[in-house]
């Protein structure tokens, strides 16, 4: 089959094509694209500044050196560890350079000027991150190592933010304005995403089991849930507002429980509905894939139906069920952003406010943490699924 060139087998004479490609992109980004964008305030279009104009040479040179080092390692380096470390170094150097440029370009005490990372900066960050991911993958980290890597990355980033390293960058300026709401909205985002997930798991697992046990139930259930998935999210959020408002008006208890037409209730219900299909389908599929011989043998040895379900079927279907939960969790984190449109809160509030005010930094303040949240959830659940698979392999 395909011969995959690994870090070990490559010779110095032959440069790594991936490293070369990313180096080329990085070089173009550094030389030809704006590193930061300088704006007089948060809304007006800005003035692009390239790397040389943004930074004094005493800061630019060390940053360039680190970048050159990681590029050299990427193109010619044999050791994956070397490439990982230098790529992470490059990532940190570019981020630090952006922060330094913002610090330098902002007069002390000025809270109106905005210095945003430019296309060149984002592209450089992306190249360094790709190099790091590629090198890390060649080390074939196990699930625990991956989670550890995630924790270290998040910890380092969090530390940099809490130390105020990036405080002069436009996104953090926007954060400073909205700081009093940020934590609450982030928490609300998590509540909506995970709350609806928990409800969906509690309902979809038994439903998936029923679909497996009663084959006649399976096709209609899955078709119905499939149709639910095709309804656009903003429409489903909107459609649910009316009946919940009616419920709240008609049943005092419902109103007391906080069920209203606007806000969290329709969001949770819609997220719950979207969550059903992946979990139900994966549960039924996972149960269906359990070897019939194993179940027959279990029954023949005198396990009760409950013991077979708990001891054989569910453990064997668990990776498939978790894969369904992974899909749902990531989907929910994304969809919760849209729930802000119906007043449910969450990080989407910043995204839509930003769109409304054409304030890009505010959009990013909502979007970037959402992406980070989704990616982190994906890594965690992947690691969990793989560790279960590994324990059997």
Listed ranges 48-56, 94-102, 152-160, 360-368: which one lies at the site for another protein (CB under 8 A): 360-368
Question: What b/e readout covers 349-377, taking b as 16+ CB neighbours within 10 angstroms?
Answer: bbbbbbeeeebbbbbbbbbebbeebbebb
Site for another protein in 364-393 (CB under 8 A): 364, 366-368, 370-371, 374-375, 377-378, 391-393
Classified as helix, coil or strand, 148 is helix
In the window 195-214, what residues touch another protein (CB under 8 A)? none
Q: At 35, phi and psi to the nearest 5?
A: -80, -45
Q: Based on CB atoms, which residue is closest to another protein, 50 or 59?
A: 50
Query: Is 385 in contact with 323 (CB distance < 8 Å)?
Result: yes
Residues 193 and 336 sit within 8 Å (Cβ to Cβ): yes
Name which position in 57, 230, 250, 252 contacts another protein (CB under 8 A): 230
Query: Shortest approach of another protein to residue 332 CB, angstroms?
Result: 10
By CB under 8 A, name the one of 155, 291, 310, 357 that touches another protein. 291
| 185 binding another protein? (CB under 8 A) | no
Nearest Cα to Cα of residue 272 among 347, 153, 192: 192
CB of 315 to another protein, least distance (A): 5
Residue from 81, 194, 203, 352 in contact with another protein (CB under 8 A): 352
Alpha-carbon distance of 265 to 245, in angstroms, equals 10
- Give the span between the Cα atoms of 343 and 132, in whole angstroms: 39
How are beta strands 36-39 and 114-117 bridged, if at all?
antiparallel
Contacts (Cβ under 8 Å, ≥6 apart) of 389: 319
Whole-number minimum distance, CB 388 to another protein, in Å?
Answer: 9
Distance from the Cα of residue 263 to its chain's centroid: 24
Q: Is 342 in the site for another protein (CB under 8 A)?
A: yes
Exactly one of 78, 104, 178, 299 binds another protein (CB under 8 A); that residue is 299
* Residue 239 in contact with another protein, rule: CB under 8 A: yes
- Pick out residues in 47-86 that bind another protein (CB under 8 A): none
Q: Which is nearer to another protein, 17 or 164 (CB)?
A: 17
- In the complex with another protein, which residue's Cβ is closer, 22 or 60? 22
Least CB distance to another protein at residue 360 (A):
4
Note whether 307 binds another protein by CB under 8 A: yes
In the bound state with another protein, the residue whose beta carbon lies nearer, of 60 and 330, is 330
Q: How is residue 104 written in tokens? A: 């330098």
DSSP tag of 310:
I
**Residue 232 binds another protein, judged by CB under 8 A:** yes
What is the smallest separation between the CB atom of 111 and another protein, expressed in angstroms? 21
Stretch that binds another protein, among 23-31, 77-85, 144-152, 232-240 (CB under 8 A): 232-240
Is the CB of residue 203 less than 8 Å from the CB of residue 228?
A: no
The Cα–Cα gap between 115 and 54 comes to 10
């Amino acid at each position: 089959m395909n011969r995959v060139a690994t870090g070990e087998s490559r010779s110095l004479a032959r440069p790594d094509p991936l490293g070369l490609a990313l180096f080329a992109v990085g070089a173009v980004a550094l030389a030809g694209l704006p590193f930061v964008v300088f704006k007089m305030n948060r809304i007006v279009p800005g003035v692009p500044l390239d790397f040389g104009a943004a930074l004094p040479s005493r800061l630019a040179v060390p940053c360039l050196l680190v970048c050159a080092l990681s590029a050299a390692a990427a193109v010619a380096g044999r050791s994956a560890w070397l490439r990982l470390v230098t790529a992470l170094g490059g990532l940190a150097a570019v981020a630090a350079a952006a922060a330094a440029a913002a610090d330098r370009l902002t007069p002390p005490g000025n809270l109106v000027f905005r210095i945003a990372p430019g296309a060149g900066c984002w592209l450089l960050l992306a190249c360094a991150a790709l190099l790091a991911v590629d090198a890390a993958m060649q080390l074939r980290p196990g699930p625990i190592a991956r989670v550890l890597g995630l924790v270290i990355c998040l910890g380092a980033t969090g530390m940099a933010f809490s130390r105020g390293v990036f405080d002069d960058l436009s996104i953090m300026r926007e954060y400073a304005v909205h700081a009093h709401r940020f934590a609450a909205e982030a928490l609300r985002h998590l509540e909506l995403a995970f709350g609806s997930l928990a409800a969906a798991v509690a309902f979809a697992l038994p439903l998936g089991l029923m679909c497996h046990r009663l084959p006649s139930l399976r096709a209609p259930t899955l078709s119905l849930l499939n149709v639910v998935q095709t309804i656009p999210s903003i429409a489903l959020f909107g459609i649910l507002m009316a009946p919940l408002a009616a419920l709240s008006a008609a049943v005092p208890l419902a109103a007391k429980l906080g069920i209203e037409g606007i806000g969290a209730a329709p969001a949770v219900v819609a997220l719950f509905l979207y969550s059903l299909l992946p979990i139900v389908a994966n549960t039924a599929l996972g149960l269906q894939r359990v070897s019939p011989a194993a179940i027959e043998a279990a029954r023949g040895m005198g396990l009760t139906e409950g013991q077979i379900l708990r001891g054989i079927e569910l453990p064997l279907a668990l990776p498939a069920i978790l894969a369904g939960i992974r899909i749902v969790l990531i989907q929910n984190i994304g969809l919760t952003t849209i729930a802000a449109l119906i007043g449910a809160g969450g990080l989407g509030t910043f995204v839509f406010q930003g769109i409304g005010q054409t304030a890009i930094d505010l959009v990013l303040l909502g979007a970037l943490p959402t992406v980070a949240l989704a990616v982190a959830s994906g890594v965690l659940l992947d690691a969990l699924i793989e560790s279960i698979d590994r324990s059997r392999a």
